[in-house]
Chain A
Amino acid sequence: MIGIVDYEAGNLRSVETAMKHLGADFFISRNPEELLKADRMIFPGVGEAKSSMEVLERTGLDKAVREFADSGKPMLGICLGCQIFFEHSEERDTECLGIIPGRVKEFSADMGLKVPHMGWNQVRHEGRHPVFEGIKEESSFYFVHSFYPSAPKEFEIGSTEYGIGFTSAASKDNVVATQFHPEKSGEVGLKLITNFINWKI
Chain B
Amino acid sequence: MLEKRIIICLDVRDGKTTKGVKFKGNVDIGDPVEMAAEYYTQGVDELVFYDITASSEKRGIMIDVVERVAEQIFIPFCVGGGIATTADMRAVLLAGAEKISVNSQAVKNPAIIEEGAGLFGRQCIVLGMDAAADRNMPSGYRVVINGGRTPTELDALEWALRAEKLGAGEIVLNSIDADGTQDGYEINATRMISEAVGIPVVASGGAGTSGHLKDVLTEGKADAALIASMVHFGGYTVGGIKEYLNKENVPVRIL
> What is A's interface to B at a CB cutoff of 8 Å?
10-11, 13-14, 17-18, 20-21, 46-48, 109, 114-122, 140, 142-145, 161-162, 183-187, 189-190
26 A/B residue pairs, CB under 8 Å, sorted by A: A14-B98, A17-B71, A17-B74, A17-B96, A21-B71, A46-B123, A47-B121, A114-B198, A115-B199, A118-B200, A118-B223, A119-B3, A119-B5, A119-B223, A120-B45, A121-B3, A122-B3, A142-B75, A144-B76, A144-B123, A184-B74, A184-B98, A186-B40, A187-B74, A189-B74, A190-B74
Closest residue on chain A to residue B96 by CB atoms: A13
Q: Distance in Å from the Cβ of A196 to the closest Cβ of chain B?
A: 15
Q: Is B212 an interface residue (CB 8 A)?
A: no
Sample of 17 more A-B contacts, CB < 8 Å, known A17-B71, A119-B224: A11-B94, A11-B98, A14-B70, A14-B98, A17-B74, A21-B71, A46-B123, A114-B198, A115-B199, A116-B200, A119-B3, A119-B4, A120-B45, A120-B253, A121-B2, A145-B123, A162-B2
Q: Is B170 an interface residue (CB 8 A)?
A: yes
Mostly, the B contact residues are loop
Alpha-carbon distance A161/B3, docked complex (angstroms): 11
Q: Distance in Å from the Cβ of A173 to the closest Cβ of chain B?
A: 28
Q: Is B227 an interface residue (CB 8 A)?
A: no
Alpha-carbon distance A142/B7, docked complex (angstroms): 14
Q: Distance in Å from the Cβ of A17 to the closest Cβ of chain B?
A: 5
| B45 cross-chain contacts in A, Cβ below 8 A | 119-120
Alpha-carbon distance A143/B200, docked complex (angstroms): 13
Number of interface residues of B (CB under 8 A): 31
Alpha-carbon distance A143/B76, docked complex (angstroms): 10
Interface members, chain B 126-177 (any A CB < 8 Å):
169-170
| A18 cross-chain contacts in B, Cβ below 8 A | 74
| B123 cross-chain contacts in A, Cβ below 8 A | 46, 116, 118, 144-145
| A13 cross-chain contacts in B, Cβ below 8 A | 70, 93-96
| A189 cross-chain contacts in B, Cβ below 8 A | 74
6 residue pairs, one from A and one from B, having the closest CB atoms: A140-B253, A120-B253, A120-B3, A144-B123, A121-B2, A13-B96
Q: Is B54 an interface residue (CB 8 A)?
A: no
| B223 cross-chain contacts in A, Cβ below 8 A | 114, 118-119
**B74, A118: Cβ atoms closer than 8 Å:** no
Q: Distance in Å from the Cβ of B218 to the closest Cβ of chain A?
A: 16
Alpha-carbon distance A140/B5, docked complex (angstroms): 12
Q: Distance in Å from the Cβ of A145 to the closest Cβ of chain B?
A: 8
Closest residue on chain A to residue B2 by CB atoms: A121
Closest residue on chain B to residue A121 by CB atoms: B2
| A161 cross-chain contacts in B, Cβ below 8 A | 1
Closest residue on chain B to residue A22 by CB atoms: B74
| A20 cross-chain contacts in B, Cβ below 8 A | 71
Q: Is B19 an interface residue (CB 8 A)?
A: no
| B76 cross-chain contacts in A, Cβ below 8 A | 142, 144, 184
Q: Distance in Å from the Cβ of B29 to the closest Cβ of chain A?
A: 24
Q: Is B122 an interface residue (CB 8 A)?
A: yes
Closest residue on chain B to residue A9 by CB atoms: B121
**B71, A140: Cβ atoms closer than 8 Å:** no
Closest residue on chain B to residue A18 by CB atoms: B74
| A120 cross-chain contacts in B, Cβ below 8 A | 2-3, 5, 45, 253
